[in-house]
Structure 1
Amino acid sequence: MFDNQNDEEENSNFHLPKMKFSKDELKTIGSLFKKRFTTISKTVVTNRIWLKSAKSSSCHVLLTFPKNTSYDTIFTIMDRILKAGLIVNVKQHKTSSTVGFYITASYERLLQGAEDLEIKKIIKTNYGGGIKEFIFDEQEFYENIENEDLFLTTQERQSIIYDILYQIRCDNNDEQIIVNDKKVPNGRRLIFWCQKYKIISQILPIHDQDDLKELRKNWVFSLFSNQPLDKVCKYFGIKLTLYFAWLGFYTKSLLIPAFLGLAMWLSMGKDEKWDSIFFLVLCSFNLIWSICFNDLWNQRCAELSYKWGTLDMKENLLQDPRPMFKGEYKLNKVNNKLEPHYPEYKRALFRYLITFPTLLAVTGLTIAIMLKMFDLQEFFNHATTNKLLPELMGLTNFIPKMIYANIISFLNSVYKRMCTWLNDKENYREQTTHENHLIVKIVLFQFINSYLSLFYIAFYLQDVGLLKEQLFAIFITRQLTGNIKEAIFPYIFENLKQIKKIDRVAKDEKLDIKPDQELIDNVQRLQRYATKFLEQSSNLNTEKADNYQEEEIPSELSQPEVESLMPNYPDTFGDYLEMVMQYGLMVFFAPAFPLAALFTLFNNFIEIRTDAFKMCFLYQRPFGQIVSNIGRWQDVIETFSILGIIVNCGLLITFGVIQKLLPSVTFYESVAIVIVVEHVFLGFYKVLNYSLPKLPRWIIVAKSRLEYRRREALRTLEMNEMHNIKCSSNN
C-alpha cells in the first residue's frame, strides 16, 4: 500500500522541477530503499556463492561426518580408508561446519577394484573381441586400457571406491578400533557400522558436470527424441537405466491402444449393440496387447543387457549380508568370517503373527473407507437431484470420487511405510531377498487399496457408468497431482533449503564472522597426515601428493559440498511401483474406460521427463548398480497380465456383452462361452511365452561369432608361444 501511495505521489509531482518531502517521509523512503537493497545484496551474495562452487577434479566419492564429531574418530576412520589404498582429501564444509572426505583412488587401485567387482570390459579385436570380466593380470588384452579417462567411466570409478569402502573390516588381527567411545566389534564393516550409529552422515558419488549438462540437454529437455539410454547407463548405471528403458518401451507400446481407444470412445454411445461390439473388441485387443508387450519387452531387455554386458551375469552365491541385517554374530563356515545369523523360525513367527493379520486389518480398513465413500457419493447424488447443491455442469457429483482418489493415494504412502517396517522386522539376510519380499508386500497392499473399490463397482454393483466415472477421477487426480508432488514441489522445497544454508554462509562472510578455528586446525592436521601417508605409499608419487595438498581448503563452496545439501535418491522402487499399479489399471479396466490408454500415454510421456528431471536436477547422484533385468517387477507385470485375462472376461459377463450380441443365448451359456474364451487367451499366453525365443536371433549369432573368434585367437596365441619355445630351444 505504501508503494502505491509513493507511485501516485511521484506521478502527480513529476512536472515540478523540484520535489519536496518532509523529514518523516524521507526517513520512511530511506528505510524502504535500505530494506530493498539489503534483500537484493543478500540474493546477489547467495547467487555468487552458488556460481562460485568449485568443481572438484580430485573427488569421486564424498564422505561427510555430523557436526562436532571428534578429531580422534575422524582420524581413525581416515586411517583405515587410507590403508585400504584410497586417496583422501580433508576439507571443511562451511554450510554444515563439519568435515568432508573427498575420496578418489589411483588408476592401479581402481583396476584392482574393477577385478574384484567383475566389471566387464571390451576385449581388443586382435584377442577375439567381445566383453569379458576384467582381470588385472591380463589388462593388456582390454580396449583403451592405456587411457585412464576412457577405460573406466566415473560411474564405474565411484562403484569401485564404494565397494572398497564397503570391504573395510575390523579383523581379529587388528587392534581394537574405538569410534566415539564405542568399540567396533571384530568382523564388522567399519563404514556401515559407523553409518548405522550415525557416526558418518552420508556417502555419495559426485556428479560430472560435463556429462550432466549433456544429459540435461539431450535427455531432460529433448521431449520428442529417443532417450539416450547408452549415455544414461554410462552415467547412472544399469539398474536405473533399465527402469527408463522399460518406461520408454511401455510408453511407445501404448500408441496403438491409445489411438484405438480414442476411436472407440468417439464412436460409442450411439447404439447399444455397437457399444457391445466395441467393448468386446477392446477386451480382445487389450489382452493380446498385454501378452505381446511382456514377451517383446523380455527380448528388448535381453538386447540391452547384452549390449551392456550383463546378459550372462552369474548369480552371486556368496552374497554378503545387507548392512541392516541383524542377528547374533557367528563364524560363517564358508568364508570363516564373523557374520550375523538370524533363526528362520523367528521370521516365520513374525510373518504369521504380525504381517498376515496386518494385511487382514488393512483389507478391512479399505473396505470400510470404500463403503463410507459410496455413502458420501449417494449423499451428493441426492443433494444435486433435490437441488440442495448446485450441479456445476455435473462437477459436484465428481467431488466424492476425487476425494476418494486422493485418499487412495494417501493410504498408498502410509501402506508403503507400513510394509517397509514389516519387511525390516522380518530381517532378511540378502539385499535381493529383502527387496523381493518388500515388492510382494507393497504390491499386495496397494492392490487391495487401489483396485478393491473398482472390483466392487464392476462385479458387485455392476455399474459401468460409475466405473467409468471412478476411473476418470483416478486418472485425472494422479496426473494432476502425481508429477507435481514428485518433481516440482521437491525441487522448490529442496532449493529453498539449500539457499537457506548457503545464505547463512553468505551472511557470515558479509558480517566477517570468524570461522571455527578448532575445526580448521583439525582439518589441516588430518590433511597433513593424509598427504604424508600418500608420499610413503606406492599408490601415488610425491608430485601427485603435492597437487592434492594444494587443494586443502578452498575459498569458495566446492561442488561436493553443494551436492551434499541435495536429497538422496531413494531407489527405483517407488517409480516402478507407480508405473506397475498404473499398468494394472490399464490391463484390468481399459475396456470399461476406452480413454485409459490415452491418459496413460500422456502421463508416461510426462513421467519420463519428470523422472529424468529428478535425476539431473533434484537428487544426489546414486551409485550405479549392475543387474541383468528388472527383477521381481517383471513377475508382477506378468501376473497382472494373467489376472487381466480373467478380469476382462469377467467384465464381459457382468456387463452382459455376450447376451447383448447374442440375445438367444442364456446367462449360463454366455458364462460358458466366456470361460472358453478365457482359456483360449490363457493358452495363447502360454504358447506365445514358450514359443518365442528368450534371446533374439542376432544375439545368439553374435555370441557364437565371439566364441569362435576367442577360440581362434587363443589358438593363435598358443601357436605363437610354441613357436617361441622351439626357437629358444634351437638357440
Structure 2
Amino acid sequence: MAEAASGAGGTSLEGERGKRPPPEGEPAAPASGVLDKLFGKRLLQAGRYLVSHKAWMKTVPTENCDVLMTFPDTTDDHTLLWLLNHIRVGIPELIVQVRHHRHTRAYAFFVTATYESLLRGADELGLRKAVKAEFGGGTRGFSCEEDFIYENVESELRFFTSQERQSIIRFWLQNLRAKQGEALHNVRFLEDQPIIPELAARGIIQQVFPVHEQRILNRLMKSWVQAVCENQPLDDICDYFGVKIAMYFAWLGFYTSAMVYPAVFGSVLYTFTEADQTSRDVSCVVFALFNVIWSTLFLEEWKRRGAELAYKWGTLDSPGEAVEEPRPQFRGVRRISPITRAEEFYYPPWKRLLFQLLVSLPLCLACLVCVFLLMLGCFQLQELVLSVKGLPRLARFLPKVMLALLVSVSAEGYKKLAIWLNDMENYRLESAYEKHLIIKVVLFQFVNSYLSLFYIGFYLKDMERLKELLLVLSLSQSLERQLRAVLVPLAALRFRLLLLSLRGLLLAARAKVRAGGEPVGPRRGGQRGCAGGLARRAEGACAEGIWGRGRPASRCRRLGAHAAQCTDRARGGVETLWACP
C-alpha cells in the first residue's frame, strides 16, 4: 500500500498528508508542488546536470613528473616537436612525456629524470648534501666519485627531496642553449643563448613550474598549518619549498615571537600611566628608549639565528654565481662582444638615460603631485563634513576612509607603472632590474602611504587628527591585505570552479546531441587514424584523468602523416597521446 501511495499523483499524496502525518521513521516528503508552480520543474531539475565544486577539487597524483611545462592552446605542432627534439638531444638525462589537456586543448611536457641522472645533475649543480658521521659529518658539495660518503645515498626515495629533484631539472632546462643560427618561427637565437627562458619571455612557453606532492602537503598541513601553538617545522619547509622560503618563514616566526616583548611592555606602561600630559610624555620617552634597545637586540639575535640556519641548511659558505645571464626580456642590437668575441645584444646606455630623464622622472614627479592633490582633496572634504552640524560621529571618518581606499588603489596603479617604466628602461641583468624596480616601488609606496601622516604631524600639527588617520589607515590596510590574501583568491577559485561546472554541462549537452547520430568517445580497434611515427617519437604516455585523450582527428592526421594505422596502445601498454577521438 505504501508503494502504491508513493506511485500515485502529487495531488492525492498531498491530500493524504493533509489528513494524517507521515508514519514514524519515514521523513516527510518536500512540498515540491509549490516550488514547481513558482519555478517550474525544468529549472528545479537543472541542478543535477551541474558538477559540484567539490568534484573539481579531487586531484589525481601525477606520477613520474617533477616539472611541468605548459603551452598555449594555439601552439602548433612544429613548435612542440622542435622543442621536444632539442630537449632530448641537448639533455638526454631528462624523461619527457607529452600530454594533451582535453578541456583547454593545451599541451604540456611532463619532465622527470632517473635517479642516476639526478646524481650526475647534483654533481654538476654542486648540490650540498649531508655527509655521514664516519666521514666527518656536516655538508659538502655532492660528488659522484665519492657518493658513498653521503647519508642515505643508497635510498632513491630518501636521498633527494622533491625540491632538490626539481632544482636539478630546472638547472638543466635553464641551461639548454641554442647553437649558432638556430631559429623557431620569428625567434632567432644567439649562439649559446638559453632556449627555455627566451621562449617563456616570448609567450611560446606558457609556464614552467614544479609539481606538488600531495603526501608531503598533507603532512605539512598537519604539522604546520593546523599546529597553531607549536614551532614551525622549518626543516620540512626547507626540504619541500627550498632555503629561501624556509628562511622567510623562519624570520617571520622569529619576528612575531620577538614582538611579544614590546607588546607586553607597552601594555603595562599604558596601564600605569597617569592621565596628565606630563606622565604621557614621560611614558613616550621610556617606550621609545625601550624600542631602541629592543630593535638592536632583535637584529643581533636574528643575525645569529640566520647564520645558524644557513649553516644547518648548507648555504652559509655557498659560492655565488660567477656569471649572471642576461634577462630574456633584454632587447637591443646584435653585435660582437669586444670581450668574449661572441654575438650578444647591446643597448646603448644613453638611450636608457634619455628615457629616465624624459619619461621616468617626469612620470614619477607627476604621480607624487597626484598623491599630494588627492590628499588635499580628502582634507578639504573632511573640513566640509566637520562644518555641517548634526551629522553623526561616524560621518567624520568617511573622508579618512576614502583617503585610505585611494591609498590602496593608488598603490596598485603605481606598482604597475613602476614595472612598465622598468621594462622600458631595458636592463640587461636581473639584479639591476630588481634594484631599480625596488627604488621606484619604495619611493611610490612611501610617499603614497605616509605623506598624509607627515603633513598632519609636521605641518598642521593636529595630533588628534593624526591619531584618527593613523588608526583608519592601519585598519584599512590590514583589512585590504586580508581580503587580497584570503577572500579574493577564494572567490576567484569558486568562480573558476563554477566555470568548470558550466563547461562540463556544455560538454555533456554536446555529447548527448552527438549520441543521437554517432557514438561518443574514442573509436577502438582497427580504425584508421593518426598515431604512428609521431606518437613513438613522443614516447607514448597519455595521462589517466584530465591530461589525456581527446586530440582532434584533423591535427592527428597532420602530425602522423607518415602513419597509416592508428593504435590505442603504445609503449608499455599505455594509451597514446595521439589517439584519435
* TM-score between the two structures when normalised by the length of structure 2: 0.81
Alpha-carbon displacement from aligned partner over 1:129-171 (angstroms, at most 9, x marks no partner): 2111223333233222222221211111112212211111221
Distance in 2 separating the partners of 1:67 and 1:322: 26
CA RMSD of aligned residues (A): 3.2
Q: Would you say the 8 A contact 1:95–1:501 is kept in 2?
A: no
Q: Which amino acid aligns with 1:102?
A: F
The answer to whether 1:161 aligns with 2:169 is yes
Distance in 1 separating the partners of 2:35 and 2:253: 62
Q: Would you say the 8 A contact 1:54–1:558 is kept in 2?
A: no
Q: Would you say the 8 A contact 2:198–2:329 is kept in 1?
A: no
Distance in 2 separating the partners of 1:185 and 1:316: 22
The answer to whether 1:282 aligns with 2:287 is yes
Q: Would you say the 8 A contact 1:253–1:293 is kept in 2?
A: yes
Q: Would you say the 8 A contact 2:49–2:505 is kept in 1?
A: no
Alpha-carbon displacement from aligned partner over 1:354-380 (angstroms, at most 9, x marks no partner): 333333222222221111111111122
Q: Would you say the 8 A contact 2:266–2:287 is kept in 1?
A: yes
Q: Would you say the 8 A contact 2:68–2:110 is kept in 1?
A: yes
Q: Would you say the 8 A contact 2:100–2:547 is kept in 1?
A: no
Deviation at 1:439, TM superposition (A): 1.5
Q: Among 10, 33, 39, which residue is 2:47 paired with?
A: 39
3-state SS of 2:209 partner: strand
Q: Would you say the 8 A contact 1:373–1:400 is kept in 2?
A: yes
Alpha-carbon displacement from aligned partner over 1:422-442 (angstroms, at most 9, x marks no partner): 222222222223222212221
Q: Which moved more, 1:403-412 or 1:191-200?
A: 191-200
Report the count of equivalent residues.
Answer: 517
Distance in 1 separating the partners of 2:498 and 2:160: 34
Q: Would you say the 8 A contact 2:102–2:547 is kept in 1?
A: no
Q: Would you say the 8 A contact 1:63–1:101 is kept in 2?
A: yes
The answer to whether 1:142 aligns with 2:145 is no
Q: Partner residue of 1:473?
A: 472
Q: Partner residue of 1:16?
A: 19
Q: Partner residue of 2:204?
A: 199
3-state SS of 1:204 partner: strand
Distance 1:420 1:522, change over 3 A: farther
Distance 1:466 1:107, change over 3 A: same
Q: Partner residue of 1:709?
A: none
Q: Partner residue of 2:357?
A: 352
Q: Would you say the 8 A contact 1:187–1:339 is kept in 2?
A: no
Q: Among 47, 69, 76, which residue is 2:75 paired with?
A: 69
Alpha-carbon displacement from aligned partner over 1:309-358 (angstroms, at most 9, x marks no partner): 11112222211112222223344566665432333333333333333333
* TM-score between the two structures when normalised by the length of structure 1: 0.65
Deviation at 1:26, TM superposition (A): 9.6
- Stretches of structure 1 lacking an aligned partner (at least 5 in a row): 1-6, 532-548, 560-731
Q: Among 546, 563, 579, which residue is 1:557 paired with?
A: 546
Q: Which moved more, 1:440-449 or 1:134-143?
A: 134-143
Q: Would you say the 8 A contact 2:131–2:140 is kept in 1?
A: yes
Distance in 1 separating the partners of 2:459 and 2:34: 76
Q: Partner residue of 1:342?
A: 347
Q: Which amino acid aligns with 2:17?
A: F
Q: Would you say the 8 A contact 1:60–1:103 is kept in 2?
A: yes
Q: Which moved more, 1:327-336 or 1:403-412?
A: 327-336
Distance 1:371 1:177, change over 3 A: closer
Distance in 2 separating the partners of 1:522 and 1:430: 46
Distance in 1 separating the partners of 2:222 and 2:529: 43
Distance in 1 separating the partners of 2:40 and 2:242: 53
Deviation at 1:268, TM superposition (A): 4.9
Distance in 2 separating the partners of 1:408 and 1:93: 42
Alpha-carbon displacement from aligned partner over 1:213-249 (angstroms, at most 9, x marks no partner): 1122222232222222211111111222222222222
Q: Partner residue of 1:224?
A: 229
Q: Partner residue of 2:517?
A: none
Q: Partner residue of 1:58?
A: 64
More helix by share: 1
Q: Partner residue of 2:403?
A: 404
Deviation at 1:182, TM superposition (A): 5.2
Q: Partner residue of 1:98?
A: 106
Q: Partner residue of 1:368?
A: 373
Q: What are the residue-to-residue correspondences of 1:236-385 with 2, within 5 Å?
A: 236-268=241-273, 270-332=275-337, 337-383=342-388
Q: Partner residue of 1:727?
A: none
Distance 1:472 1:515, change over 3 A: farther
State, as a whole percentage, how many aligned pairs show the same letter. Answer: 34
3-state SS of 1:15 partner: helix
Distance 1:246 1:553, change over 3 A: closer
The answer to whether 1:458 aligns with 2:447 is no
3-state SS of 1:319 partner: coil
Distance in 2 separating the partners of 1:260 and 1:381: 37
Deviation at 1:487, TM superposition (A): 1.9
Q: Which amino acid aligns with 2:259?
A: L
Deviation at 1:12, TM superposition (A): 8.9
Distance in 1 separating the partners of 2:357 and 2:399: 36
Distance in 2 separating the partners of 1:26 and 1:371: 59
Q: Which amino acid aligns with 1:131?
A: T
Q: What are the residue-to-residue correspondences of 1:574-613 with 2, within 5 Å?
A: none
Alpha-carbon displacement from aligned partner over 1:171-229 (angstroms, at most 9, x marks no partner): 12xx74434x6555544322222222322221111100001111222222322222222
Distance in 2 separating the partners of 1:523 and 1:479: 56
Q: Partner residue of 2:576?
A: none
Q: Would you say the 8 A contact 2:56–2:497 is kept in 1?
A: no
Distance 1:184 1:270, change over 3 A: same
Deviation at 1:16, TM superposition (A): 3.2
Q: Which amino acid aligns with 1:504?
A: R
Q: Would you say the 8 A contact 2:68–2:208 is kept in 1?
A: yes
Q: Which moved more, 1:263-272 or 1:138-147?
A: 263-272
Alpha-carbon displacement from aligned partner over 1:449-476 (angstroms, at most 9, x marks no partner): 1111111111122222121111111111
Q: Which amino acid aligns with 1:126?
A: E
Q: Among 116, 135, 160, which residue is 1:152 paired with?
A: 160
Distance in 2 separating the partners of 1:521 and 1:360: 64
3-state SS of 2:129 partner: strand
Distance 1:227 1:421, change over 3 A: same
Distance in 2 separating the partners of 1:110 and 1:185: 29
Q: Partner residue of 1:433?
A: 432
Alpha-carbon displacement from aligned partner over 1:562-606 (angstroms, at most 9, x marks no partner): xxxxxxxxxxxxxxxxxxxxxxxxxxxxxxxxxxxxxxxxxxxxx
Q: Partner residue of 2:6?
A: none
Distance in 2 separating the partners of 1:402 and 1:30: 44
Distance in 1 separating the partners of 2:258 and 2:159: 36
Distance 1:284 1:17, change over 3 A: closer
Flag the structure with more relative contact order, 1 or 2, with Cα contacts below 8 A and sequence separation at least 6: 1
Q: Partner residue of 1:234?
A: 239
Distance in 2 separating the partners of 1:27 and 1:483: 40
Distance in 2 separating the partners of 1:447 and 1:305: 32
Alpha-carbon displacement from aligned partner over 1:234-268 (angstroms, at most 9, x marks no partner): 11112222222222222111111122233344455
Distance in 2 separating the partners of 1:323 and 1:516: 42
3-state SS of 1:340 partner: strand
